[in-house]
Amino acid sequence: MASVVGHALGAVIIWEAGKRLPGGWVPPGPAWYLLPLMVAVLPDLDIFAHKITAAGPAMAHRGPTHSLLAVLVIAGAAALAAYLIDSSVKLPRVFIVLFGCALMHPLLDFLMACGPPVPFLWPWNSQGWLSPVQLIPTAYYSRSVRGLLSLLRYPETWIGIGLEALSLGSLWAALLIWNRVGSAIFLALSGTGFYLTWKIFR
């Protein structure tokens, strides 16, 4: 899995891009960022599924919650929530943006090129896929809160988060600034982050 930082940045990149579309496809205001952030982390709740369900191996990490069907359901629920909060929200447009936000989660896991393959086509096809090139750094995970906290002691964890911040955070900054010179600088930094990830983790 990408870290929670990487997944959050992936979602807000798409949300910010939605704000830049003509007419503004998502509602303005910083409070609305909670919606893509929530969408970003939902698929990884499967880490704890064995504690709260009897599904066992059927809900293993990077299982059904990382499929396109799950992306569709998550985006649909989030878009409906946005409409219930503010009826002026254009439901089809915000759904499309939130679909992109939710899709970033399995896509980033795919770009890690390691770990369990991502079953995009579940339940029609249980086969999973991984990218042949690693562009997202490896992030370790645990099935317990204590285990997750223990990961913070390892330098590899912080290296991975740093590379995610450089590559994905710079891409988000390029969208936030949205001018020729500033965006070009941050796009170059983003490319550097992806390149360093490829060199370090390949």
Residue 105's nearest CA partner among 93, 118, 122, 121 is 118
**Model pTM score:** 0.88
Mean pLDDT, rounded, of the chain: 87
Q: Where are the domains of the chain?
A: 4-143
The model's pLDDT over 117-176, given as tens digits with 9 standing for 90+, comes to: 999 999 999 899 999 999 999 766 655 566 666 667 778 888 889 999 999 999 999 999
Return d(Cα 138, Cα 127) in angstroms, integer. Answer: 21
Give the Cβ contact number of residue 133 at 10 Å. Answer: 11
Secondary structure element (H or E) that encloses residue 36, with its range: helix 34-41
